[in-house]
Amino acid sequence: MSSASEQTHFGRRVVPLAGKQELVDDVFRKVADRYDLMNDLMSFGLHRVWKDILIARVHPSQGRPFLHLDVAGGTGDVAFGIARAGGRLTRVTVADINADMLRVGAERARRLRFNDRVSFIEANAEALPFSESFFDAYTVAFGIRNVPRIEKALAEAYKVLKHGGQFLCLEFSRVDVPVLKHLYTAYSEVVIPAMGKVVAGDAAPYRYLVESIRQFPAAEAFADMIARAGFARVRYALLNGGVVAIHSGWKL
């Protein structure tokens, strides 16, 4: 039997740590083709606004080559935004562990004619296949809470960033406005799984997504994890009453 230190949460279930990634992969295999549609419905389109705020904080260089890594960004939303912001000298690598999500992103890249500046690679956030000090910036949007060993992912982020490189994470957080918290909880637990059943044909993946948000550390606790990974000038900003947070840190 696995010890408590080798266990983690998958929704409301406690599972062996080694088995969480396979369960998460199955969730995203089921939702890949309708992932962006469901994000629009679940967030009333706000996920696009939140991603735009994240992208605006990257500041890719216009006058020199800029290498960016977007982790767990399979469908390409953030990657395409950074490629647009940076111009012709910006190259974005999307790393995602789920092949189905990468397939959707690569198809979008071809349609949008970004396939010369945005590349897609199947990779685990806990063991990135890149050289040390390689990227100018690293983003992860709504993905780090699905990583079984978040500390390892943060250590990998630090490793692959250049000195002076920026880490940015957009993730769901804890709503801190009492009335909004009550409404948000009810909406998350009842409406989102029902919506997933109608739109995607299966409520279970969306029930997991809601539970994974509940299990993720509060913003201050996650900021402490980022600092322990070695990042300096760690900060976070809560958006929409704490529904999401943008965390940042620098490799200095």
Model pLDDT for residues 133-171, shown as the tens digit of each residue: 999 999 999 999 888 899 999 999 999 999 999 999 999
What are the boundaries of each domain within the chain?
46-174+217-250
Indicate if the pLDDT at residue 235 is higher than 90: yes
Residues in the chain, how many?
252
Burial 190-205 (b: 16+ CB within 10 A, else e): eebbebbeeebeeeeb
Q: State both tokens at 71.
A: 């982790």
Q: State both tokens at 84.
A: 């647009």
* Fold topology of 46-174+217-250: Rossmann fold (3.40.50)
| The model's pTM | 0.85
